[in-house]
Amino acid sequence: MKILVGLSGGVDSAVAAYLLKEQGYDVTCCFMRNWDSFANNDIEGNPTILQDTCPQEQDYMDAQAVAKKLDLPLQRVDYIKEYWDYVFTYFLDEYKKGRTPNPDILCNKYIKFDAFFKRAMDLGFDAVATGHYASTTTKDGFTYLSRAADHNKDQTYFLCQVSKEAFQHTLFPLGSLTKPQVRAIAQKLELDSVSTKKDSTGICFIGERDFRAFLTNYIPNKEGNIIDIDTGKVLGKHIGCMYYTIGQRKGLNITAHKGPWFVAGKDVTANILYVCRSDHKDWLYSDSCIVTGINWLTDPSYLIPEECTCKFRYRQPDQKIQLERIDDTTARVSYPQKIASVTVGQEAVFYDGNICLGGGVIDQVFIGEEDLNQKIIAKTREN
């Protein structure tokens, strides 16, 4: 089989390429460049803007070193326009609405397993492979996305919006390995450019940024009031609702009033940020939500259970839930134990044991029959 491996310049994809070659596949590597700081006005909040070599080019040089060491061909492809059009524009639009999107999920959906995947198929490859910590399970001729052996690193959460057809032609070589094992393989192979390289963090394909400063390149600051839900008092000023997420504690700059304080709600139209004190954190808790745009990853014959588990954010322990399907892509998700900081705009990802059923965007959050955010706004207006 001919395999096209996404080689990022990091340790995970490097070891993935090595393992596939060892298993006898015909392996070609491909480096994707999806961001151009100067073309995209990525100036404020960019700690590397004045460096002689930008991080993307350093990653490419590291990928070249890996490919040379493994004696594998390396291609390079740019998806800068596609990333801007399908990932970053949506990312900004959601932030303007006061929602909290996940760019890693969007990048997997539109770039790695769409543009890159289609290119591989058009070039005659049999499958693609990446360094994700995930695996697949084939049953009755259908390939399901399933968790990695290393549950601490499992990345199926970020793959929930990928087309299920793509997983029929995708390999995850790291599915049975832990991160320490991957680094040990890289060190044994003397892949010096990546073996001790720290994991990439920050925004997918953009990197680490001073997030507030970064957003000012694209969205102007808009100062507004920070209001205590319980008293209706103005506690301070924020710089724009889009800069804060539900449950956030740090960076609120509330100094004259004893806390700690947590972001509990937003009124984007009125530009108000609502907070609760640590002794009134019940304002953070919900018992159900509406999830829209669900991408189901199962075969049509698979019976999706009404009772399963869900992650409302990455690395969150599995939460027991009940699914009430409203239509093909919408569901009401109820949880018997109230959960804190379920956030509009983030992803809810469903699991049946180790099988990832799919996921969608959290659109509304409820306590009882009331929209939690609207309840918070109404409470402060009473005050």
Q: What is the pLDDT along the chain (383 residues), one digit of tens a residue?
A: 999 999 999 999 999 999 999 999 999 999 999 999 989 999 998 888 888 788 888 999 999 999 999 999 999 999 999 999 999 999 999 999 989 899 999 999 999 999 999 999 999 999 999 999 999 999 999 999 999 999 999 999 999 999 999 999 999 999 999 999 999 999 999 998 899 888 877 788 788 888 889 999 999 889 999 999 999 999 999 999 988 999 999 989 898 788 799 999 999 999 999 999 988 999 999 999 999 999 999 999 999 999 999 999 999 999 999 999 999 999 999 999 999 999 999 999 999 999 999 999 999 999 999 999 999 999 988 76
Q: Residues with Cβ < 8 Å from 330, sequence gap 6 or more?
A: 290, 291, 292, 293, 294, 360
The number of CA neighbours under 13 Å toward the Cβ of 258 is: 2
Give residue 209's pLDDT. 87
On whether both 10 and 85 belong to a single domain, the answer is: yes
Give residue 113's pLDDT. 97
Give residue 210's pLDDT. 87
What whole-number distance in Å separates Cα of residue 347 and Cα of residue 360?
6
What whole-number distance in Å separates Cα of residue 59 and Cα of residue 57?
5
What whole-number distance in Å separates Cα of residue 42 and Cα of residue 36?
8
Give residue 258's pLDDT. 83
On whether both 13 and 135 belong to a single domain, the answer is: yes
With beta carbons less than 8 A apart as the criterion, state whether 77 and 33 touch: yes
With H, G, I as helix, E, B as strand and everything else as coil, classify residue 103. helix
Rounded (10°) CA dihedral 280, 281, 284, 285 = -100
Give residue 3's pLDDT. 98
Residue 51 is part of which domain span?
Answer: 2-211
On whether both 11 and 160 belong to a single domain, the answer is: yes
With H, G, I as helix, E, B as strand and everything else as coil, classify residue 376. helix
On whether both 239 and 344 belong to a single domain, the answer is: no
Give residue 138's pLDDT. 95
CA-atom Rg of the chain in angstroms: 22
On whether both 39 and 92 belong to a single domain, the answer is: yes
On whether both 233 and 272 belong to a single domain, the answer is: yes
Q: Would you call 41 exposed, middle or buried from its count of C-beta atoms within 10 A (0-12, 13-18, 19+)? A: exposed
- Phi-psi domain of 345 (left: phi exceeds 0; alpha: psi -120 through 50; beta: other): left
φ, ψ at 172 (rounded to 5°): -120, 90
Give residue 22's pLDDT. 98
On whether both 254 and 226 belong to a single domain, the answer is: yes
Give residue 211's pLDDT. 86
On whether both 199 and 321 belong to a single domain, the answer is: no
Domain closes at, from 167, 187, 211: 211
Give residue 200's pLDDT. 77
pTM for the full predicted model: 0.95
Give residue 190's pLDDT. 95
Give residue 372's pLDDT. 97
Number of domains composing the chain: 3
Write the CA distances from 239 to 102, 208, 290, integer angstroms: 21, 21, 29
Question: Active-site positions?
Answer: 107, 204
Q: DSSP for 276-321?
A: EEGGGGGGGEEEEEEEEEEEE-S-TT----SEEEEESSTTPPPEEE
**What is the CATH number for 352?**
2.40.30.10
Give residue 295's pLDDT. 98
* Max Cα–Cα distance, the chain, nearest Å: 69
DSSP 183: H
Domain closes at, from 154, 182, 211: 211
On whether both 228 and 240 belong to a single domain, the answer is: yes
On whether both 35 and 178 belong to a single domain, the answer is: yes
Kindly state the tokens that stand for 10. Answer: 């990091």
On whether both 314 and 202 belong to a single domain, the answer is: no
Query: How many residues are there in the chain?
Result: 383
Nearest in space to 132 (alpha carbons), one of 165, 100, 166, 101: 166
Sheet holding 2-6, edge to edge: 74-78, 26-33, 2-6, 127-129, 170-171
Domain closes at, from 173, 193, 211: 211
List helix spans (H) across the chain.
11-22, 55-70, 80-83, 89-96, 103-107, 116-122, 179-188, 211-215, 372-382
On whether both 18 and 46 belong to a single domain, the answer is: yes
Which residue carries 């000012």 as its tokens?
216
Give residue 352's pLDDT. 97
